[in-house]
Homo-oligomer: A and B are copies of this chain.
Amino acid sequence: MTIDAVLAHVDDNLDAALERLKALVRIPSVSTDPAFKDDCQAAADWLVADLASLGVEAEARQTPGHPMVVGHAGDGGPHLMFYGHYDVQPVDPLELWHHDPFDPIVEDTPAGKVIRARGACDDKGQLMTFMEACRAWSAVKGDWPCRLSFIFEGEEESGSPSLVPFLDAHAEELSQPDLALICDTGLFDRDTPAITTMLRGLLGEEVTVTGPDKDLHSGMYGGAAINPIRVLARIIASLHDESGRITVPGFYDGVDELPASVRSQWEGLGFDADGFLKAVDLSEPAGESGRSVLEMIWSRPTCEVNGINGGYTGEGFKTVLPSRASAKVSFRLVGRQDPFAIRRSFRAMVRDALPPDCSVEFGSHGAGPASVMSTDDPAFEAARRALSDEWPNEAAFVGSGGSIPIAGYFREVLGLPSMLIGFGLDDDQIHSPNEKYDVRSFHKGIRSWVRVLDALAR
C-alpha cells in the first residue's frame, strides 16, 4: 500500500487543517508572561483534545510551570517521539502589528497565501504539520505507521525550566522511543528542505547593577554619584573586542573550526548572504571579522543584549540619576561550549568590572548546550530522501543559528537522538511583529511528514 492516498487526503482536507491551526493560534499562550498562564493551560487542553480526536490517548500533565502534553499511539515498528511547543513569544511592540496577533488571517501575498499571527509558524504551525500528517494517515489507513509518542511543551520560549525535571521524572516512559522528531526549524530556502544537524545552545542571563540606593536628582548628585546605566553600558561595551570576538574568559573553549567537508557542503548551498542581510535593511555582516555569514549564524557563538532598561524611559525628560539599570544578555553556544562554565566566567567578569559602591544581581534564563547530530545514522539519509521527493530541490543537512536545547536534553536525559525537520522560512518574522507561515509550508510540511513517517517506519 503506497502513501499516494494519504497525500491525496492531505490535499483534499487542507482547508479543515488550516481551521484547526487557526483555532490553536487563537489561544494567546505566551509562556514568559504570568498573565497568560490560563491561556497556556487552554492550549495544552486543546492539544489533548485534538490528539484524542486522532485516537491518541493523551493528557496534560502539570509541572511547576506550564503543562506538558504527553500521548502515545500505535504498536510495532520503530518508536518515534514527536516534539513541538505550544507556547509563543510575547507580541510587543504591539503597535507594529497590522492586526490582532491572536486573530489569525490568511492573506494573499506575491509569494502565495500565508497565515499571519503570533505562533502561526513558531511553533504552532510547525507542530500541526505533524498532527495533520498523523490525522491523514490514520484516516486513510485506519492504523498508525509505527509506534508514536507525542510531547508538547509550553515553556520553550521561556527557557524550558520544567523540561529537564519532567524528562527526568518520566525517564522510563519517555526513553522508550528510538528517535525524536522535532519540528521547530526551517527550510534552507523556498525549494530546498533541510534537516538541521547543528544547533546552537543558549545561555540567558539577566544583569541588574545598583548604585545609589534610590533615584537621585542629576542636578544635586550628578558628577559625584555613580550612574549604574554608565556602569552597565561600559560592561556591555567590553563584552566584544574590536574584531567582534567575545571577551568573556574561556568563552571559546570547546569551539572548533568547521570541518572541511561541512565547509564545502555549506559553500555549495549558494547561500545569499547579501540578500539575507538586505531583507532586514542591513548591508554588512556585524560578527567576527574573517567569518562568512553562514558561519556567523550556524557555527560561531555569539553574545547579544536582548533588552536594556534603566532610569526614566517615558515621554519627555526626567533629570534622574537612577538607582539601578538592567540588561538581558544571551549567548548562543556551539560545539562543546559549557553553558555553566560560561555563566560562571561571565558573572565573574561583570563583578570584576564593577566600580566601588555598585552591586550586581544576576538572574538566569536557561542554559542549554549546543547539539551536533550524528548523520551516520541511516535514518537521516532515509529522511533526507523522503524530503527530496516532496520538494523541488534535494534536501540538505544544515546548521541553525537558533537554539533548540530540547535536542540536547533528549540526548542527555533520555539517551535519545533527535532529527530536526521544519518548514519555516527566513521571512516568517518569528519573534517579531506580523509573524506568518506560508500555507505552502504548512501544506507541503504535512505531506513531508507523511513521506518521512513512511520512510522511517519501514
Within 8 A of B (CB), among A366-398: 366
**B283 engages A356 (CB within 8 Å):** yes
**Given A282-B212, A308-B229, A317-B306, are A219 and B237 neighbors across the interface (CB < 8 Å)?**
no
Spot the interface stretch: A41-49, A132-140, A253-261, A273-281.
A273-281
The one of B157, B288, B328 in contact with A311, judged by C-beta atoms closer than 8 angstroms, is: B328
Spot the interface stretch: A3-11, A108-116, A141-149, A423-431.
A423-431
Within 8 A of B (CB), among A261-312: 273, 276-277, 280-288, 293, 296-297, 300-302, 304-312
**A312 engages B307 (CB within 8 Å):** yes
Rounded to whole Å, the gap between the CB of A437 and the closest CB of chain B is 14
The one of B200, B224, B237 in contact with A293, judged by C-beta atoms closer than 8 angstroms, is: B224
Q: How many residues of A contact B (CB 8 A)?
A: 101
The reply to whether the CB of A32 lies closer than 8 angstroms to some CB of chain B is yes
**B158 engages A316 (CB within 8 Å):** yes
The reply to whether the CB of A230 lies closer than 8 angstroms to some CB of chain B is yes
**A304 engages B403 (CB within 8 Å):** no
CA distance A222 to B214 in the complex (A): 35
CA distance A429 to B321 in the complex (A): 12
The reply to whether the CB of A362 lies closer than 8 angstroms to some CB of chain B is no
Rounded to whole Å, the gap between the CB of A423 and the closest CB of chain B is 15
Rounded to whole Å, the gap between the CB of A159 and the closest CB of chain B is 6
**B432 engages A286 (CB within 8 Å):** no
CA distance A327 to B426 in the complex (A): 31
**Given A32-B318, A230-B240, are A307 and B311 neighbors across the interface (CB < 8 Å)?**
yes
**B304 engages A218 (CB within 8 Å):** yes
The one of B227, B273, B315 in contact with A304, judged by C-beta atoms closer than 8 angstroms, is: B227
Rounded to whole Å, the gap between the CB of A122 and the closest CB of chain B is 8
Residues in B whose Cβ lies below 8 Å from that of A226:
282, 284, 286
The reply to whether the CB of A337 lies closer than 8 angstroms to some CB of chain B is no
Within 8 A of B (CB), among A208-245: 211-227, 229-230, 232-234, 236-240
Residues of A within 8 A of B (CB): 31-34, 89-90, 92-93, 96, 157-159, 200, 202, 204, 206, 211-227, 229-230, 232-234, 236-240, 273, 276-277, 280-288, 293, 296-297, 300-302, 304-322, 325-328, 330, 332, 355-357, 365-366, 400-403, 426, 429-433
Question: What are 10 A-B interface contacts by the 8 Å CB criterion?
Answer: A32-B315, A215-B431, A221-B401, A223-B287, A223-B401, A226-B284, A237-B237, A308-B325, A317-B366, A320-B431
